[in-house]
Amino acid sequence: MKKVFLIALIIAIAAPAFGFKVFYYGGKIVKHGEEQIPWTMRFNNLGTPDCAKEFAALASSLNTWSNVTKQWYRNKRGVNTSTINYGYDGVNLCVWYEPGYSGQGGWPWAAGAIAVNIFWMTDAGTFYKVVENDVCFNGHNFTWSDKGEVYRMDVQNIATHEFGHNLVLADLYDAASRDFTMYGYASTGETKKRTLHQDDINGIRFLYPNDEITLESFTATAREGRVLVAWKVSREENHAGYNLYRLEDVGGGADYVKLNEALIVGRSPYEFEDGGVKAGTAYKYLLESVDLSGGKERFGPARVEVPTAQKRVFALAQSYPNPARTAATIKFALPEATTAELEVYDLSGRRVATLYSGAAEAGEREVVWNLAGDDGSAVAPGVYIYRLRTPGDVAARRLVVAR
């Protein structure tokens, strides 16, 4: 087993007393700013000729870190690029340096370096902010695999380590860290860096400390004149509870109004019913996660439109067609669940047919009369009256039967 260095161009000079190291430069910590999220990496089109699925392996490596960093802190894959050389050019590049690739001029670093993560940074006041990462894989001195083959470097194993540098963790070289993803040595056939050790995760939480929950969903849904706000979290740590805010339009301006009095606590999935909304109005909701030390992080907004309330009425419509030759369709509407009767009478007041009788839901419905009496025989041509009756209302209309 050959042991070789994975190097970053900036050397870690400070080590907190944890199983991770971060970078310092000029006495300031090096990391990303929140406004840079998601951090998008782009893979060179050529990949490596050594394996067929290197892009999938690289993408898996990005996801490994995305899954533990805070919701807004994501490594993300952008479209592939034709950029073939590292350089400060606005492209966060992943590229193999291979003997057959024109325009590269060989592997610029030590032969034993498996991969190199070069990053550029700028002074952001309280910290140095990374503004670009380029990751270069050594195809001159190593062959590559996406399957952990014994005599090759595993793409996902090495890339997961390199993407740890993206976020901006430093290498570890002490033997106690040998199972960590950020351990600075790697071997052919090795795959243990594909997954993260708890100390690798702790490093991310040290750099980006408001990572108290992993939010899986946050939705607002209109339901019968109210809004049901729901959210699911897969992880809560050092977590105190939630606040929920609704955006209110206030003539020319808008403000988020806090909906809960005490912190919302409980277990995922969470639900909050907001009855203070108006029909025909759109709203936005924000979820605020509060940690045990009072740190806050906001998610959203979730948007919802509360539909215009449908005014429910008691109504009996004119039948159609009218005159009717074979059948008549009669529509009616009830304002609430009740019992109802729909009957047909002749002009002498004799009941000819019962079209509906019994319990009825609120809302509209229609009944088709086949122009037969209750005895089953066709009614005579002429004028008829149909009447809808509930315990509280009655309505009647005429229809004509023609043969």
We find the least distance from the C-beta atom of residue 211 to Zn ion, in angstroms, to be 22
Interface pick for Zn ion out of 4, 6, 93, 302 (rule CB under 5 A): 6
Judged on CB neighbours under 10 Å (0-12, 13-18, 19+), 223 is: exposed
For residue 276, give every residue at least 6 positions away whose Cβ sits within 8 Å of its Cβ, in sequence order, or none: 246, 259
Stretch that binds Zn ion, among 5-13, 76-84, 311-319, 324-332 (CB under 5 A): 5-13
Q: Which is nearer to Zn ion, 9 or 150 (CB)?
A: 9
Q: Which is nearer to Zn ion, 134 or 171 (CB)?
A: 171
d(CA 294, CA 89): 40
We find the least distance from the C-beta atom of residue 165 to Zn ion, in angstroms, to be 6
> Could you say whether residue 134 binds Zn ion (CB under 5 A)?
no
DSSP 2-70: --EE-EESS---B--SSS--B-EETTEEEE--GGG-SEEEEEBTT--TT-S-HHHHHHHHHHHHHTTS-
Interface pick for Zn ion out of 50, 134, 154, 171 (rule CB under 5 A): 171
Q: Which is nearer to Zn ion, 11 or 257 (CB)?
A: 11
We find the least distance from the C-beta atom of residue 7 to Zn ion, in angstroms, to be 6
Stretch that binds Zn ion, among 1-9, 239-247, 304-312, 391-399 (CB under 5 A): 1-9
For residue 314, give every residue at least 6 positions away whose Cβ sits within 8 Å of its Cβ, in sequence order, or none: 333, 334, 335, 390, 392, 393, 395
d(CA 242, CA 85): 47
Find, among 83, 153, 143, 139, the residue nearest to 109 by Cα: 139
Q: Which is nearer to Zn ion, 6 or 155 (CB)?
A: 6
Type of residue found at 235: R
We find the least distance from the C-beta atom of residue 6 to Zn ion, in angstroms, to be 4
Stretch that binds Zn ion, among 163-171, 294-302, 322-330, 351-359 (CB under 5 A): 163-171
Determine the angle formed by the axes of helices 155-166 and 54-66, rounding to 10 degrees. 40
User: Across the strands, what pairs with 199?
Assistant: none
Find, among 290, 193, 301, the residue nearest to 246 by Cα: 301
Stretch that binds Zn ion, among 20-28, 169-177, 278-286, 312-320 (CB under 5 A): 169-177
We find the least distance from the C-beta atom of residue 116 to Zn ion, in angstroms, to be 9
Phi, psi of 85 (to 5 degrees): -120, 145
Phi, psi of 24 (to 5 degrees): -120, 150
Residue nearest to Zn ion (CB): 6
Inter-CA distances, 162 with 28, 45, 133, Å: 22, 19, 10
Q: Which is nearer to Zn ion, 6 or 84 (CB)?
A: 6
Site for Zn ion in 337-366 (CB under 5 A): none
We find the least distance from the C-beta atom of residue 186 to Zn ion, in angstroms, to be 9
We find the least distance from the C-beta atom of residue 12 to Zn ion, in angstroms, to be 10
We find the least distance from the C-beta atom of residue 109 to Zn ion, in angstroms, to be 12
Q: Give the count of residues interacting with Zn ion (CB under 5 A).
A: 2
Q: Which is nearer to Zn ion, 42 or 165 (CB)?
A: 165
E strands present in 156-264 = 185-186, 213-223, 226-236, 239-249, 254-258
Q: Which is nearer to Zn ion, 172 or 324 (CB)?
A: 172
Stretch that binds Zn ion, among 97-105, 138-146, 164-172, 310-318 (CB under 5 A): 164-172
Residues that bind Zn ion (CB under 5 A): 6, 171
